[in-house]
Structure 1
Amino acid sequence: MKKTAPIGIFDSGVGGTSIWKEIHQLLPNENTIYLADSANAPYGNRSEAEIVSLSIKNTEKLISLGCKIIVVACNTATTNAVDILRKNYEVPIIGIEPAIKPAALQTQSKSIGILATKGTLSSALFHKTSEAFTKDISVIEIVGEGLVPLIEKGALESQELKELLTNYTAPMLAANIDYLVLGCSHYPYLIPNLKKILPPTVTIIDSGEAVAKQTKKTLEKIELLSEENKQPSLQFYTNTEIDTLTFLLKAYSKNISIQQKEF
Structure 2
Amino acid sequence: MCQLLGMNCNVPTDICFSFTGFQARGGITDHHTDGWGITFFEGKGVRQFLDPKPSAHSPVADFIRTYPIKSTNVIAHIRKATQGDTKLENTHPFVREMWGRYWSFAHNGDLKNFEPAFDGRYRPVGNTDSEKAFCFILQELQKTFGDEAPSMEALGNKLHELTLALATFGVFNFLLSNGEFMLAHCSTKLASIIRKAPFNVAQLKDQDVKIDFSAVTTNKDQVAVIATNPLTDNEVWSIHEPGTLLLFSEGAVVTQYKTVPGPITNCISNA
Q: TM-score w.r.t. structure 2 length?
A: 0.30
If each structure's strand is expressed as a fraction of its own residues, which one has the higher value?
2
Higher relative contact order (CA 8 A, sep 6+): 1
If each structure's helix is expressed as a fraction of its own residues, which one has the higher value?
1
Q: TM-score w.r.t. structure 1 length?
A: 0.30
